[in-house]
Structure 1
Amino acid sequence: MKYIAPLLAVLMLSACSSKPITSGISVEQNKSQFNEQLRVDNPALSKKLTITDIKTRQTNQLTDVVVTLSSQYKKSQYLQYQFNWFDKDGFVIKGNHSPWQALTLFGFAKTQLPGLAPSSDAVTFSLAVREVSTESQEFKD
């Protein structure tokens, strides 16, 4: 009986280490690994956001994704997001940048962000997120 707990721990860890391929995008099943897809250059903001799920499918030979972005912060966040797409060799697909999309993420809420690859060459992506200032900006002469 004393060997059952360590054996179960090893089996659980080995189950989390697989990397299934879904619609051409490799996504770790371990939820902490989803955040490799998330790019936030603001350290304070990165502590307030996490990716909790990624779903993919093929639509007319294009990769279609839905990323679930979750707030880890109690107040509303005013954000913008953008998908960036890469080919099988990891190179950015030129002209691939989707426009920045506005997003209000309420405290501890989740939202699904849809993205569609610009070409059939796209096999992976990153999601860039940035804060939008809510303060009035004055232009000085």
Structure 2
Amino acid sequence: MKYLVPLLAVCLLAACSSRPTTSGIGVEQASAQYQQQLKVDNPDLAKKLAITDVKTRQTNQLTDVVVTLSSQYKKSQYLQYQFTWYDADGFVIKGNHSPWQALTLFGFANMQLPGLAPTSDAVTFSLAVREVSTEAQEFKK
């Protein structure tokens, strides 16, 4: 009985580990796997975002994706995102960028972003994300 309490405490601490695991893959490992698909020009913003999951399927011969974008930051972020599609040789499919879409990503939240390839030639993608200014814009005459 005297060994049961310390053993139980160790098991509880192990269960409350700070690194969540899903399907046997740690979030940090999954995030690193998808980071090449995330394009952020602002280094400060890049530290606050991660792609933690990508699901793909074929719909009417087009690649259909759902990207999970995760906030690594405690405050809300006001963003825009855009998919860019590439062919099998890695070339951008010209003229087929998706439009910029508005997104509010709350602190430490996850958001699923859907994308559909514009042609059947598209086999992969990148996701560009940029910050939207929340300051009032003044127009001077």
TM-score (norm 2): 0.78
Q: SS at the partner of 2:140?
A: coil
After superposition, residues 1-141 of structure 1 pair within 5 angstroms as 30-141=30-141
CA displacement 1:8-63 (0-9 Å, x = unmatched): xxxxxxxx8xxxxxxxxxxxx84312010000000000000000000000000000
Q: SS at the partner of 1:45?
A: helix
Bigger Rg, which one: 2
Q: SS at the partner of 1:113?
A: strand
* Unmatched tracts of structure 1, length 5 or more: 1-15, 17-28
**Runs of 4+ deviating beyond 3 Å:** none
Q: SS at the partner of 1:67?
A: strand
Q: Is the contact between residue 37 and residue 127 of structure 2 (CA under 8 Å) also seen in structure 1?
A: yes
State the identity as a percent. 82
| 1:6 aligned partner | none
Over the residues paired in the alignment, what is the CA RMSD in angstroms? 1.2
| 2:13 aligned partner | none
Distance 2:117 2:53 in 1: 18
Q: CA deviation at 1:94?
A: 1.2
